[in-house]
């Protein structure tokens, strides 16, 4: 194939996301090699969208590789895990030194670190690239979180910045950091997404089952909230979902949907990773637990038969105030979840030597991705003020925001308990907030318990050292 006809980039794996990413490259003027294990998918793409740009269909990975100019840039868009390894194993021997394999799936960052090291041994670049925004984002402009080497990123940057979402002239794409950094940040995006969705769901539950609002009315509340600090894609689509009427029954759509939430696993990965790093991510964890509980049908049915709710439902004196309080609780709890998420990215960055710029992560999440929101600009500004902020919650802007919200937040958690409406996200976030700011925590008692039953020792507030009490003897204290 003549040099001028060689493809700029290739995509193998033409499922919805892969197909739309390929279309996005083509619609932005790049010549795109396209391949799918079953050739029908490639044919379908060419038949339906071939007119959109300059595609180079390939019937085999060999043809796909041969269609590419150097350094070759091959984007793999197949399911995470085994299928991705399979494509890497098959295509690597076809590539030459300096070529770049990009995994655009939701891969686990540890798999990405392994793959990056393996391919580096072979003189190849491996880029774990988080792509957020779903099908529409992949086509019209996702938030893109590539990891890998700076050399690989410089070869990819012109293409990725062209296809990424753009906010105020800034593409929602940046080099996140080496090896698995990109997929780690994408994983945290998904963990935050879970927490955000759970908090919105709890707000809905309180408005619906606490105040007795109909779905359409709750949708109007979310529409109103979307004009303020809570403006976000997730709040916007919540209003749409709640306004939707089921065509088959004429009932509110949300009432005909089975109340059992699915999860592909990225939220779970996030919580496990945060636990391994020692960072509390109560918001994300409660969101994962809530999804699991919702699907635990047997236990739920048994509990519905056996467990009573509040004897006398609480009376809510001021309904308007309660709606405002829920808004405040949602914003404050969302802040806690984002603070925990950014704490986790910072800790992993230190652990793995990634040097992730947290302000830049907020910047590229302003558009294209599922958690895109106005308040990510506030997060960017917070890290611009202090790159080493110990917690988002102690930034002047955010500490004031939570201070303004906390009375309403506390009323919501208290009322929810009296109403018997579960709010694990709101209540765990409030407890995290109160624990983080507490001058003394009951961990002192836990240290005493541990020393008594396991001689695990403790430290003192009044002098350095490690101590143990002879609990079974004269209870004297000895220094260890």
Please state, in angstroms and rounded to a whole number, the distance separating the CA atoms of residues 9 and 163.
12
Nearest approach in angstroms of CB 192 to ligand 6PG is 10
The two tokens of residue 58 are: 């390939």
Residue 391 makes CB contacts below 8 A (sequence gap 6+) with 339, 343, 436
Nearest approach in angstroms of CB 87 to ligand 6PG is 19
Residue 193 vs 325, nearer CB to ligand 6PG: 193
Nearest approach in angstroms of CB 194 to ligand 6PG is 7
Binding of ligand 6PG by 263 (CB under 6 A): yes
Nearest approach in angstroms of CB 275 to ligand 6PG is 18
Of 133, 148, 178, 252, which lies in the binding site for ligand 6PG, with binding defined by CB under 6 A? 133
Kindly identify the residues of this chain, within the stretch 268-327, that bind ligand 6PG according to CB under 6 A.
Answer: none
Residue 86 vs 134, nearer CB to ligand 6PG: 134
Question: Of the residues 52, 96, 157, 193, which is catalytic?
Answer: 193
# binding residues, ligand 6PG (CB under 6 A)? 14
Please state, in angstroms and rounded to a whole number, the distance separating the CA atoms of residues 129 and 428.
32
Q: Is 381 a catalytic residue?
A: no
Nearest approach in angstroms of CB 142 to ligand 6PG is 7
Counting every residue written for the chain, the total comes to 480
- Of 290, 345, 291, give the one whose Cα is nearest residue 147: 345
Nearest approach in angstroms of CB 263 to ligand 6PG is 4
Q: Write the DSSP assignment of 65-109 as a string of letters.
A: HHTBPSSPEEEE-S-TTHHHHHHHHHHGGG--TT-EEEE-S---H
Residue 179 vs 193, nearer CB to ligand 6PG: 193
Site string for ligand 6PG, 431-460 (x = CB under 6 A): ------------------------------
Of 10, 195, 370, 421, which lies in the binding site for ligand 6PG, with binding defined by CB under 6 A? 370
Phi-psi region of 469 (alpha: psi -120 to 50; beta: other; left: phi over 0): beta
* Runs of H (alpha helix) within 164-206: 181-205
Give the pairing type, strands 170-171 and 166-167: antiparallel
Of 262, 298, 309, 439, which lies in the binding site for ligand 6PG, with binding defined by CB under 6 A? 262
Residue 221 vs 337, nearer CB to ligand 6PG: 337
Only segment of 151-159, 189-197, 292-300, 415-423 that touches ligand 6PG (CB under 6 A) = 189-197
Please state, in angstroms and rounded to a whole number, the distance separating the CA atoms of residues 135 and 22.
12
| Cα 106 → chain centroid | 11
Q: Is 320 a catalytic residue?
A: no
Nearest approach in angstroms of CB 200 to ligand 6PG is 13
Residue 160 vs 370, nearer CB to ligand 6PG: 370
Only segment of 186-194, 295-303, 343-351, 394-402 that touches ligand 6PG (CB under 6 A) = 186-194
Helix/strand/coil for 478: strand
Please state, in angstroms and rounded to a whole number, the distance separating the CA atoms of residues 271 and 269.
6
Residue 371 vs 402, nearer CB to ligand 6PG: 371
DSSP structural state of residue 173: B
Binding of ligand 6PG by 190 (CB under 6 A): yes
Residue 295 makes CB contacts below 8 A (sequence gap 6+) with 260, 261, 262
Of 132, 198, 270, 340, which lies in the binding site for ligand 6PG, with binding defined by CB under 6 A? 132
CB 425 within 8 A of CB 286: yes
Question: Of the residues 186, 202, 286, 334, which is catalytic?
Answer: 186
170 - beta bridge partners? 167
Q: Where are the beta strands (DSSP E) in 60-139?
A: 73-76, 100-103, 125-132
Helix/strand/coil for 128: strand
Please state, in angstroms and rounded to a whole number, the distance separating the CA atoms of residues 322 and 317.
9
Please state, in angstroms and rounded to a whole number, the distance separating the CA atoms of residues 348 and 276.
10
Q: Which residue has the tokens 């004196």?
A: 317
Query: By Cβ distance, which residue is nearest to ligand 6PG?
Result: 132
Residue 175 vs 189, nearer CB to ligand 6PG: 189
Of 15, 50, 86, 134, which lies in the binding site for ligand 6PG, with binding defined by CB under 6 A? 134
Please state, in angstroms and rounded to a whole number, the distance separating the CA atoms of residues 340 and 338.
5
Only segment of 20-28, 153-161, 187-195, 440-448 that touches ligand 6PG (CB under 6 A) = 187-195
- Of 177, 232, 133, give the one whose Cα is nearest residue 346: 177
Helix/strand/coil for 467: strand
- Of 100, 95, 31, give the one whose Cα is nearest residue 65: 95
Nearest approach in angstroms of CB 176 to ligand 6PG is 14
Element (H, E) at 9: strand 9-12
Only segment of 132-140, 309-317, 417-425, 437-445 that touches ligand 6PG (CB under 6 A) = 132-140
Binding of ligand 6PG by 8 (CB under 6 A): no
Residue 264 vs 400, nearer CB to ligand 6PG: 264
Kindly identify the residues of this chain, within the stretch 72-131, that bind ligand 6PG according to CB under 6 A.
Answer: 106
- Binding residues for ligand 6PG, rule: CB under 6 A, are 106, 132-134, 189-190, 193, 262-264, 266-267, 369-370
Catalytic residues, by residue number, are: 186, 193
């Amino acid at each position: 194939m003549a040099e001028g006809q060689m493809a700029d980039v290739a995509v193998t794996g033409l499922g919805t996301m892969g197909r739309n990413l390929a279309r996005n490259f083509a619609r932005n003027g790049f010549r795109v090699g396209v391949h799918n294990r079953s050739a029908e998918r490639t044919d379908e793409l060419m038949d339906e969208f071939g007119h959109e740009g300059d595609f180079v269909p390939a019937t085999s990975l060999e043809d796909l590789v041969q269609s590419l100019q150097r350094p070759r840039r091959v984007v793999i868009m197949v399911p995470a895990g085994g299928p991705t390894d399979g494509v890497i194993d098959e295509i690597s021997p076809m590539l030459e030194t300096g070529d770049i394999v990009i995994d655009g799936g939701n891969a686990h960052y540890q798999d990405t670190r392994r793959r990056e090291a393996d391919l580096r041994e072979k003189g190849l670049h491996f880029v774990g690239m988080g792509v957020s925004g779903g099908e529409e984002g992949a086509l019209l402009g996702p938030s893109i979180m590539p990891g890998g080497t700076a050399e690989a990123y410089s070869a990819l940057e012109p293409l990725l910045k062209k296809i990424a979402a753009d906010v105020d002239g800034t593409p929602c794409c940046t080099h996140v950091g080496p090896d698995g950094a990109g997929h780690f940040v994408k994983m945290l995006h998904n963990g935050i997404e879970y927490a955000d969705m759970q908090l919105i769901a709890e707000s809905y539950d309180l408005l619906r089952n606490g105040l007795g609002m109909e779905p359409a009315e709750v949708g109007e509340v979310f529409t109103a909230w979307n004009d303020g600090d809570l403006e976000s894609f997730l709040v916007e689509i919540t209003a749409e979902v709640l306004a939707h009427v089921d065509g088959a029954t004429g009932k509110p759509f949300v009432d005909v949907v089975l109340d059992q939430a699915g999860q592909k696993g990225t939220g779970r990965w996030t919580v496990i990773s945060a636990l391994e790093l020692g960072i509390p991510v109560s918001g994300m964890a409660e969101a994962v637990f809530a999804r699991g509980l919702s699907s635990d049908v047997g236990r739920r049915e048994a509990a519905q038969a056996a467990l009573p709710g509040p004897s006398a439902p609480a009376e809510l004196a001021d309904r308007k105030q309660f709606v405002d309080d829920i808004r405040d609780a949602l914003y404050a709890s969302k802040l806690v979840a984002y603070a925990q998420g950014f704490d986790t990215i910072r800790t992993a960055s230190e652990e793995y030597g990634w040097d992730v710029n947290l302000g830049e992560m907020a910047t590229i999440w302003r558009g294209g991705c599922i958690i895109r929101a106005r308040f990510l600009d506030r997060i960017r500004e917070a890290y611009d003020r202090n790159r080493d902020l110990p917690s988002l919650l102690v930034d002047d802007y955010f500490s004031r925001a939570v201070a303004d919200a906390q009375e309403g937040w506390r009323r919501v958690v208290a009322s929810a308990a009296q109403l018997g409406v579960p709010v694990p996200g709101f209540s765990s976030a409030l407890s995290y907030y109160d624990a983080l700011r507490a001058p003394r925590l009951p961990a002192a008692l836990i240290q005493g318990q541990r020393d008594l039953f396991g001689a695990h020792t403790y430290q003192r507030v009044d002098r350095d050292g490690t101590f143990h009490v002879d609990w079974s003897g004269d209870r004297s204290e000895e220094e260890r």
